[in-house]
């Protein structure tokens, strides 16, 4: 049977004051369960927690004194995420949230290197039903906490009025059609390539396939400027720029957070914004989002956390 420690016992085990134990629970993710009003600590999980924090402890000489005042988010870009970061910065003036646009896979790898607090990802798995778990499982030593940010509609966008009469991805092989694409490692590129494969379209058959841009908005602007005719993108960009949108699928866009830092106050404040009226009013301004599962824990599930 698993050995359980009381608050006093875990304080003695860690050689700290009992009050510090509660701080470690709320701010550093010390593994604990509350049973009949009392905290209990599985000893083997406490030992794993110590080991994980020792292995991941940053070099003090390499980190500035105010590192904890910075919230670093990296991975797949999103318009609503950018607005949420601005909301965070306006409400928590002693902290700063920043975003690194690395694509979904880049975000997961940044989380692995412990150079971001939250990775954003929407990588579609081979079964075309689920997202992110297989990729995180391959890249990370242990699975992070996965929180859903939103569901959003992925597709391809075209000039207003759809002048080329594109009705499906299969029409993208039409002669004279210019493509603008996303970079390898992004969730959007993964979806786009799979759709092309379904219709037997090869990269060499598409003019501009290697013309890669960094963000969804960049795709929209290329089409708006007339430098491209179509490209993979999300519906919110099409609606903002007045472009034609051909939907492909609703996708799940998640936050991946290491278990060791999940309960940090700054991260919890950021996640708390997802349930605020300010966030909901802001999200309502954009077309192509579904927030029904926004802020919910996707992993671990209730069954897996027992």
Q: Give me the residue spans of the domains in the chain.
A: 4-55, 67-149+252-305, 154-251
Minimum mean pLDDT among 23-27, 112-116, 141-145: which range? 23-27
Report phi then psi at 235, rounded to 5: -60, -40
DSSP type of residue 203 = G
Predicted confidence (pLDDT) per residue in 43-70, tens digit: 877 776 675 554 444 443 444 555 678 9
pTM: 0.77
- pLDDT for res 51: 59
CA distance 238 to 233: 8
- The topology under which CATH files domain 67-149+252-305 is D-Maltodextrin-Binding Protein; domain 2 (3.40.190)
Burial (Cβ within 10 Å: 0-12, 13-18, ≥19) of residue 174: middle
CATH class given for the domain over 154-251: alpha beta
User: Smallest Cα–Cα separation from 284: which of 236, 220, 215?
Assistant: 236
- Is the peptide bond between 231 and the residue preceding it cis, with omega within 30 degrees of 0? no
Q: Can 67-149+252-305 and 154-251 be said to share one CATH topology?
A: yes
CA distance 61 to 227: 48
Mean per-residue pLDDT, 133-159: 96
Residue 199 has pLDDT above 90, yes or no: yes
- pLDDT for res 58: 43
User: Smallest Cα–Cα separation from 164: which of 229, 241, 238?
Assistant: 229
pLDDT band at 169 (very low <50, low <70, confident <90, very high): very high
User: Smallest Cα–Cα separation from 159: which of 245, 89, 82?
Assistant: 245
């Amino acid at each position: 049977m698993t050995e359980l420690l009381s608050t006093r016992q875990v304080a003695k085990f860690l050689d700290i004051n009992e009050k510090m134990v509660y701080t470690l629970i709320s701010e550093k993710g010390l593994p604990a369960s509350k049973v009949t009003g009392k905290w209990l600590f599985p000893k083997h999980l406490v030992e794993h927690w110590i080991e994980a924090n020792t292995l991941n402890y940053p070099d003090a000489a390499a980190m500035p004194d105010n590192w904890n005042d910075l919230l670093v988010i990296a991975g797949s870009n999103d318009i609503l995420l950018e607005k949420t970061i601005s909301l965070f910065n306006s409400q928590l003036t002693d902290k700063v949230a920043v975003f690194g646009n690395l694509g979904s896979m880049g975000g997961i790898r940044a989380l692995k290197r412990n150079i971001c607090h939250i990775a954003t990802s929407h990588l579609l798995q081979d079964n075309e039903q689920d997202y992110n778990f297989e990729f995180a499982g391959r890249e990370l030593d242990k699975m992070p906490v996965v929180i859903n940010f939103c569901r959003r509609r992925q597709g391809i966008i075209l000039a207003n009025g759809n002048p080329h009469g594109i009705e499906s991805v299969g029409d993208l092989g039409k002669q004279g059609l210019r493509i603008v694409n996303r970079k390898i490692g992004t969730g959007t590129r993964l979806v786009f390539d799979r759709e092309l494969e379904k219709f037997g379209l090869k990269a060499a058959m598409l003019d501009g396939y290697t013309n890669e841009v960094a963000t969804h908005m960049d795709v929209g602007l290329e089409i708006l400027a007339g430098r491209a005719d179509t490209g993979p993108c999300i519906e919110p960009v099409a609606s903002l720029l007045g472009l034609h949108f051909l939907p492909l699928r609703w996708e799940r866009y998640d936050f991946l957070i290491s278990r060791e830092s999940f309960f940090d106050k700054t991260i919890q404040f950021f996640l708390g914004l997802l349930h605020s009226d300010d966030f909901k009013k802001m999200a309502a301004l954009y077309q192509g989002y579904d927030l029904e599962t926004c802020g919910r824990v996707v992993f671990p599930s209730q069954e897996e956390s027992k």
